[in-house]
Structure 1
Amino acid sequence: YIKLQQVPGVTDLGLMPRKVSKVAIVGGGPMGSGIATTLILSHYPVILKEINEKFLNAGIGRIKENLQSRVRKGKMTKDNYDKTLSLLTGVLDYEKFKSVDLAIETVVENVKLKQQIFAELEQHCPSHCILATNTSTIDLDLIGEKTNSQDRIVGTHFFA
């Protein structure tokens, strides 16, 4: 849930947040699966991409366990679990990225890998899509160096 606030130099210029209806996440490790869990719990359809079936199944398994924990604690019904999980789509390629508004990269801190992923995101995501990295150490200009989309690459951090 995002609350709009008055921010000098932003809201007084008429700048408004973009509408995000569908999100893609590259990387289903602990961070990517945690972000995916948070997003589907907030009713966003999420596409989770991994490099192979083993890693994809592990990422989806983490998300299922996150939701099952809520069911066990009485914070979610089984029916709501099923509805929430139905918002998640696991993929091994970028085909379904053509309809996302936000793509979040959550892979290991490797510059060349991140550059490759952002070059691929640029090719497969629509031009309005925000391209986000969850890096905490690598400069955004360096990550976007192999793209023509540096103006839409942002850093994002998630805390639980």
Structure 2
Amino acid sequence: MGSGIATALILSNIYVVLKEINNEYLLKGIKTIEANVQGLVSKGKLTADKADKALSMLKGVLDYSDLKDVDMVIEAVIENVSLKQAIFSELEKVCPSHCILATNTSSIDLNIVGAKTSSQDRIVGAHFFR
């Protein structure tokens, strides 16, 4: 899901910092995004120049500290309450106070997602689907 969200954002000229838990998953995510973009080029829906520009707007990282300057985070992990709570707890430590903290959950109450943070007022739902 995260790769699809990242693809949509870079195609809309929005910079994306893609954070993963390890290098293997990060490379897999980046390759998926590249394949998504190249698929649009192959179908004639996107020029090679625009594809290159879109891909230049993607940065892959392994550490939360790389999110220190972002305006919005969209979390897209599996539907696991404790995992989401741990992620949001980390995000509130590093992201600027104006940063919107969004979750892609479709089934977990946002109050529960943010229960272990002091940032409930900036946690929002941002559900994406295909």
Flag whether TM exceeds 0.5 (same fold): yes
Question: For the residues of structure 2 that align with 1:96 and 1:51, how far apart are their CA atoms?
Answer: 13
Partner-residue secondary structure (3-state), 2:34: helix
TM superposition score normalised by structure 2 = 0.97
Question: For the residues of structure 2 that align with 1:157 and 1:39, how far apart are their CA atoms?
Answer: 14
> Mean alpha-carbon deviation: is it higher for 33-42 or for 150-159?
150-159
Partner-residue secondary structure (3-state), 1:99: coil
> Mean alpha-carbon deviation: is it higher for 145-154 or for 77-86?
77-86
TM superposition score normalised by structure 1 = 0.79
1:100 to 64, 70, 80: 70
Question: For the residues of structure 2 that align with 1:55 and 1:159, how far apart are their CA atoms?
Answer: 21
How far apart are 1:77 and its partner, in Å?
A: 1.8
Aligned counterpart, 1:76:
46
**Aligned in 2, Cα 1:62/1:105: closer, same or farther, shift over 3 Å?**
same
Aligned counterpart, 2:97:
127
Aligned counterpart, 2:33:
63
The AA in structure 1 aligned to 2:129 is F
Partner-residue secondary structure (3-state), 2:68: helix
Identify the structure with the greater helix proportion: 2
Backbone CA RMSD of aligned residues: 0.8
Give the ranges of 4+ consecutive aligned residues of structure 1 lying more than 6 Å apart after TM superposition. Answer: none
How far apart are 1:159 and its partner, in Å?
A: 3.1
Identity of aligned residues (%): 65
User: Is 1:50–2:20 an aligned residue pair?
Assistant: yes
User: Is 1:146–2:116 an aligned residue pair?
Assistant: yes
**1:110-147 deviation digits (Å, cap 9, x = unpaired):** 11110000000000100000000001111111111110
**1:19-39 deviation digits (Å, cap 9, x = unpaired):** xxxxxxxxxxxx110000000
**1:87-116 deviation digits (Å, cap 9, x = unpaired):** 000000012211111101000111111000
Q: How many residue pairs are counted as aligned between the two chains?
A: 130
Question: For the residues of structure 2 that align with 1:100 and 1:134, how far apart are their CA atoms?
Answer: 17
Partner-residue secondary structure (3-state), 1:127: coil
1:89 to 43, 54, 59: 59
How far apart are 1:54 and its partner, in Å?
A: 0.7
**1:60-97 deviation digits (Å, cap 9, x = unpaired):** 11100110001101111222211110000000001221
Q: Which runs of 5+ in 2 are unaligned?
A: none
